[in-house]
Structure 1
Amino acid sequence: GSSIGIKPPNVKADIVLVTHDHYDHNKVKVVEKEGTRVIRGGNETIGGIEVESFKAYHDKEKGAKRGEITMFKFTVDGITFCHVGDLGHVIDDETAEKIGHVDILFIPVGGTFTIDADEAIEVCKKINPKVVVPMHYKIGGLSLPIGRVEPFLENAGKNCEIRHVANEIEIEKDDLPEETEVWVFTL
């Protein structure tokens, strides 16, 4: 299949959330194992993990250019995560209200195929999470023509702390910051 220039992870997943079926976001077979639960939308609880989905668009033209995406919100051990996938537009207030409380927000910041750094800041303000994790930005080896994370960090850094964390962390609800922080994972 097609490659984005980065080696796939060597992990197997119990649950896979598929935001959309573009080649750079749907490699279920890479992480699938016997019994893996693949979720493409809907609301359900799996092994104590509550999963909700919300429809949005991959572009600013209500999906006319790149189609629909699914944003996911899920709660694990009392921490609520929201992954907005390849969000291509600033969400409206009604969608932000439907999403509701979020502790940790995963949001694209690289532009071109998704929202850019400034639009990501707008979405963050609407959702108001405790932690923002930027994603879908240019890193070494990536062949996609998208922007780097720095413009987002420069803008976000005016109003919140920027923390560079390891590529994997363990967190409990009590570890969440009082004020919004941006956590940049080491890749």
Structure 2
Amino acid sequence: MLITYHGVSCFKIQSKDLTLVFDPPSKESEFKPPRFNADIAFISHEHANHNGKENFSKESFVIEGPGEYEFKGVFAKGMETFHDSSKGKKNGLNTVYLVELEDIKLCHFGDFGEGEISPDLREKIGLIDILFLPIDPEFSPAEKALKIISELEPKLVIPAHWHLTKKHRAHFEEFLKEFNKGKIQEEEKIAIKSKELKEKQGFELRVLKPQI
């Protein structure tokens, strides 16, 4: 499995002859939309930085909302959450996605803004291998993000949002301190296999350089 980061909450997942994308920016976004096609596109919510389903061919399978899905051997589950801490009154709904392929369980949090995960959501997510989580001073502050990570216990954490503004970068530095990490080398891509994840003790933080 090969993972690359395309800014905001957009991650490209390549698995053999399949390509998945989470939260591609739309043409209305201030960020560049992806320049690649995808077999499956996951949309967490209807904001321009996350809902670029028009970027892909008619053959692409677009998933946008809660439910259970299966396409080309990929199993996915969308779970309804809120984009803010006031039950969606400010920013509306958000979908957290759980995806399984190559015997690896991925969990993409979109723009989860509740701050804390409910017992019900925790149970629905279950055991995961890779967590894509926004580290954002507004939606998921460092201390809240750390609590989510400790509760879900993923093998690998890949942060989103951290690069957006100077404020985000400063906040991310604070997150790294709380995480007991100093400077972390940004990577162009992450290649990983199920066996590597299963053998990991505890969890690892890896930062992808945004390809924007």
Could you say whether these structures have the same fold, taking a TM-score greater than 0.5 normalized by the shorter chain as the test?
Answer: yes
**Which segment is superposed worse, 53-62 or 90-99?**
90-99
Matched residue of 1:50: which SS? strand
Matched with 1:98 is: 124
Alignment RMSD: 2.0
Partner SS state of residue 132, structure 1: strand
Cα shift at 1:152: 1.8
Give the unaligned 5+ runs of structure 1.
none
Query: Counterpart of 1:118?
Result: 143
Q: Distance in 1 between matches of 2:161 and 2:122?
A: 21
Q: Which amino acid aligns with 1:166?
A: E
**Correspondence for 1:9 among 34, 59, 67:** 34
22 and 45 in structure 1: CA distance in 2 versus 1, 3 angstrom threshold: same
Say if 2:33 and 2:52, in contact at 8 Å, map to a contact too.
Answer: no
Number of the residue aligned with 1:135: 160
Deviation at 1:166, TM superposition (A): 2.5
* Cα distance in 2, alignment partners of residues 58 and 111 from structure 1: 14
Q: Does 1:150 align with 2:170?
A: no
Paired residues of 1:93 and 1:126 also in contact (CA < 8 A): no
Counterpart of 2:208, as a letter, is: F
Q: Which runs of 5+ in 2 are unaligned?
A: 1-26
TM-score, scaled relative to structure 2: 0.77
Report the equivalent of 1:40: 64
Q: Is the 8 A contact 1:162 1:183 kept in 2?
A: no
| TM-score of the superposed pair, with normalisation by structure 1 | 0.87
How far did residue 162 of structure 1 move?
A: 8.2
**8 Å Cα contact 1:96-1:127 kept in structure 2:** yes
- CA drift of 1:7 comes to 2.9
For the 8 Å contact 1:137–1:146, the answer to whether it is kept is no
Runs of 4+ in 1 over 6 A off after TM superposition: none
Of structures 1 and 2, the one with the larger relative CO (CA 8 A, separation 6+) is 2
CA drift of 1:21 comes to 0.5
**Residue 110 of structure 1 contacts residue 146 of structure 1 at CA under 8 Å; is this kept in 2?**
no
Aligned length: 178
- Are 1:178 and 2:193 an aligned pair? no
Preserved CA contact (<8 Å) 2:100 2:106: yes
The one-letter code of the counterpart of 1:185 is L
